Amino acid sequence: MASGQALWLDVRYAAEFGQDGLQGALNIPLNEIRSAFDLLDKNKEYIVYCHSGRRSSAAAFLLAQYGLKAFWLRDGLVAEKVEA
């Protein structure tokens, strides 16, 4: 992953994102991801996250199928809070 090239993509609902979303992250809920494909830059890399990793893994798969370079946080934000 090229330094400074990746964008954070939160695939939780807007209410969840509003509670503890990462500053500067994009918020596109998983159920809206397909309709947002054309809004995303194919020259960028995306780090996809959610609460537990389930939605982000599905979203990363869909993004990859569309031709975007996507990575996901395996255990989501839950893991980060436990380790902090």
The catalytic residues are 50
Q: Using an 8 Å Cβ cutoff, are 67 and 40 in contact?
A: no
DSSP code of residue 68:
-
Name the helix (H) or strand (E) containing 65.
helix 54-66
- Cβ pair 76, 56 in contact under 8 A: yes
